Structure 1
Amino acid sequence: MKRKICVVTGTRAEYGLLYWLIKRLYEDTNVDLQIIATGMHLSPEFGLTVKQIEQDGFKIDEKLEMLLSSDTPTAIAKSIGLGVITFSDALSRLNPDIMVVLGDRFEIFSAAQAAMILRIPIAHIHGGELTEGLIDESIRHSITKMSQIHFTATNEYRERVIQMGEQPNTVYNVGTLGLEGIKNIKLLSKEKLSESINFKLNKYFLVTLHPTTLESGTAEWQIKSLLKVLDTFPKHQVIFTKTNADTDGRIINQCIEEYVLENSTRCCVFDSLGQLRYLSAIQHCEAVIGNSSSGLLEVPFLRKPTVNIGIRQGGRLKAKSVIDSSFKFTELKDSINKAISTNFNERLKHIPMVYGEGNTSKSILRILKKVELEGITIKKFYDL
């Protein structure tokens, strides 16, 4: 009998990480793949990226609307509640053997709450990590406690999940999914990438800035500080990708759009580049700037420098290609200059990888197929 495995995805970035796992599940004759798309995937404001899932040849079993048209804390809290209601209905219909979720976003939090109450086993990818400037920090650890199967990106993160009381034999260090896209996709040349985005690329930065959701009222001055620093690099073009559906994200997006209009010969902005174009943009850029987790996960694998700004990614393991900076003008400018310097880039050729070597989806698939499910939802706390 086929094992029904349901994968939940709510954002473009998360789907890019999950793609190769979804593909392997889809191609496995012993698995009945189910897909739930929700959150930003269904929003025209964020690129309606549900279309990308369908273009990749995957059938979406449920499309769950849960986002309110606001990014205030109240709206996010209400979206979580709406998500629990809609996921409860959808998971009751699908009745999967295992639900697979990744990360720490509020959409996934809703899915995990519903699955826990319905006694559906949860497999959680990327547990044990820290993002100390975000509500995602608490959400990630909460999902860990609601899950029965854990896939971590490093051994240190595995130990942290065990420290939270999870049984060691349920916690698997498999590396990060993000590296598989780099290994398995033929990336675009700079010329082909230029054609694809309709923007002639020379030397450029790739910039993504998300709100720091545990701070209040900082989004506007943070993005304006970054834009002011980018003005001091007039010979560098800038590709911006917009923020997620987080509190104050619209403020950042509006500032970026206004900046691009004022600097249209030098800058461009996208709701979503998609996995192929985004990874290709990393490959050819001078530096990745902002506070996206991809700057810590995928970018080092491509031997490119990351300027990681602020506290959003605080507490995460970082390769030596990552330069931490505050939003202060001089420090941020100096950090970018360091990132594009010849000496720093020479050292990138020899940095060790922190998050595995890119065979993660095979390991996850193997475990999902063989793990014993009888009585799995009855958890015992593991005391150190």
Structure 2
Amino acid sequence: MAERIAGVTGSRADFGIQRPVLDALRAAPDFELDLYVTGMHLSPRFGHTVDEVEAAGFEIAGKIDCDASGGSDLEVAHSTSAALAGFADAWAGRRPDLVLLLGDRFETFAAASAAYLLNIPIAHMIGGDVTSGSLDDGLRHAISKFSHLHFTTNEPARERLIRMGEHPDTIFTTGTPALDAILSRDLLPREQVERRVGAPLGARFLVATFHPATADKGAPSEQFAELLAAFEDLPADMTALVTYANADSGGAELNRLLEVAEERSDRIIARDSLGQELYFSALKHAVMVVGNSSSGLYEAPSFGIPTVNIGCRQDGRLKAPSVIDCSPERSAITAAMVKAVEMDCSGTVNPYGDGRATERVLSALRKFMPFEKLGMKRFFDA
């Protein structure tokens, strides 16, 4: 009998990362996938990207609306509460054998909380990392403590989970599934990228995403204004393709600033979402990635392009030699971009995997079937 796994996706970012695993689960005869959509996917403000999930052929088992608007801390707390209640109701009515989660978002934390309180086993992808510049750091570690199985992207992350009391036999270093997608699909030629973006990209272009650094004392809007100003220092033949910030506290204000900047500048092209195929295709043709998104660390190295990583949001994560750290100040960002243009990153080795994460995840899941035998967790004293 197939084991029912509940997958959860809340944004374009996590869907793109975990899609290879979700595709494999729905194709496997010994698994039954129920996919639940929540968070930014359901917001028109962020492109209503649930449409992309459905276009990819996924049947959606439930839509958990938590009004992810990117407003204040209080609004994010209320969104988390709404998501927790929504997942609890969904899984009380259609109980999965296992909940599969990825990452560290507040809606993912809500799903983990609901599953844990309903005594449903949890498997967690991309735990054990450190991002001390973001509240996601604490959420990620909390999700790991709720979880029975762990799929990490690197060995230092695995070692951290052991120090957190997770049993070594339940932790598997798989790499990130995002690289599986990069290496397994044909990406769009440059002219199609430009056509689908719907604007000329110039002779050269960079891809940028900047999210609120929620654990940083600096104001996200002031930091983002510095980045937008730095774009004006780019060479005349270079444009910036910028995607919207996420729904963390302060994200809505960043997106308003981006919209104003796009109206005033011929250097900036803003889009709420690109979707996985277009985003990866853009990276294939871009000269660099700029901002503070994990994509600059996880995925950009596999394209042989440099990353300008701004501020403290990704502090603590493994970084390939292609990553340039800089402070969130116009002069520092401009200097880092100038350095990036001159770098040759064609031989970069990505520290987050080899494109075979999906097969490792499914192999590990099968070792613990049926999932009911996972039972209660025990703290592992190393």
- Give TM-score scaled by structure 1 length: 0.96
Structure 2 residue 100 is matched with structure 1 residue 104: no
For the Cα contact (< 8 Å) 2:232–2:267, is it kept in 1?
no
Which sections of structure 1, spanning at least 5 residues, go unmatched? none
Shift of 1:351: 2.6
Go from structure 1 to structure 2 and tell me whether the alpha carbon gap of 1:376 and 1:272 turns closer, same or farther (over 3 Å shift).
same
Aligned identity (percent) is: 39
Which residues in structure 2 correspond to 1:251-266 (within 5 Å)? 251-263=253-265, 265-266=266-267
Shift of 1:217: 5.8
Q: Which amino acid aligns with 2:374?
A: I
Shift of 1:240: 0.6
Q: Which residue of 1 aligns with 2:274?
A: 273
Q: Which residue of 1 aligns with 2:379?
A: 381
Structure 2 residue 70 is matched with structure 1 residue 73: no
Structure 2 residue 241 is matched with structure 1 residue 249: no
Shift of 1:330: 2.3
What is the alpha-carbon distance in structure 2 between the residues aligned to residue 70 and residue 52 of structure 1? 21
Shift of 1:353: 2.3
Go from structure 1 to structure 2 and tell me whether the alpha carbon gap of 1:267 and 1:330 turns closer, same or farther (over 3 Å shift).
closer
Q: Which amino acid aligns with 1:107?
A: E
Q: CA RMSD in A?
A: 1.2
For the Cα contact (< 8 Å) 1:3–1:369, is it kept in 2?
no
Structure 2 residue 358 is matched with structure 1 residue 361: yes
What is the alpha-carbon distance in structure 1 between the residues aligned to residue 66 and residue 268 of structure 2? 33
Shift of 1:70: 5.6
Q: Which residue of 1 aligns with 2:37?
A: 37
Q: Which residue of 1 aligns with 2:294?
A: 293
Q: Which residue of 2 aligns with 1:179?
A: 179
- Give TM-score scaled by structure 2 length: 0.97
Structure 2 residue 20 is matched with structure 1 residue 51: no
For the Cα contact (< 8 Å) 2:152–2:175, is it kept in 1?
yes
Q: Tell me which moved more, 278-287 or 196-205.
A: 196-205
After TM superposition, what 4+ stretches of structure 1 lie above 4 angstroms from structure 2?
none
Shift of 1:214: 1.4
What is the alpha-carbon distance in structure 2 between the residues aligned to residue 39 and residue 374 of structure 1? 29
Q: Which amino acid aligns with 1:165?
A: G
Q: Secondary structure at the match of 2:374?
A: coil
CA deviations on 1:57-114 (whole Å, 9 max, x unpaired) are 1100000111254610011111111111111100112211110000000000000011
Which residues in structure 2 correspond to 1:78-89 (within 5 Å)? 78-89=78-89
Structure 2 residue 346 is matched with structure 1 residue 349: yes
For the Cα contact (< 8 Å) 1:120–1:377, is it kept in 2?
no
CA deviations on 1:323-361 (whole Å, 9 max, x unpaired) are 0000123222111100001xx21xx22232201111111
Q: Tell me which moved more, 162-171 or 90-99.
A: 90-99
Q: Which amino acid aligns with 1:80?
A: T
Q: Which residue of 1 aligns with 2:340?
A: 339
Shift of 1:198: 1.6
What is the alpha-carbon distance in structure 2 between the residues aligned to residue 364 and residue 93 of structure 1? 27
Q: Tell me which moved more, 123-132 or 191-200.
A: 191-200
Q: Secondary structure at the match of 1:380?
A: coil
Kindly tell me the number of residue pairs found equivalent between the two proteins. 379
Q: Which amino acid aligns with 1:260?
A: E
Shift of 1:178: 1.1
Go from structure 1 to structure 2 and tell me whether the alpha carbon gap of 1:220 and 1:61 turns closer, same or farther (over 3 Å shift).
same
Q: Which amino acid aligns with 2:63?
A: K
Q: Tell me which moved more, 323-332 or 283-292.
A: 323-332
Q: Which residue of 1 aligns with 2:193?
A: 193
What is the alpha-carbon distance in structure 1 between the residues aligned to residue 185 and residue 263 of structure 2? 33
Go from structure 1 to structure 2 and tell me whether the alpha carbon gap of 1:70 and 1:200 turns closer, same or farther (over 3 Å shift).
closer
Q: Secondary structure at the match of 1:183?
A: helix
What is the alpha-carbon distance in structure 1 between the residues aligned to residue 105 and residue 177 of structure 2? 17
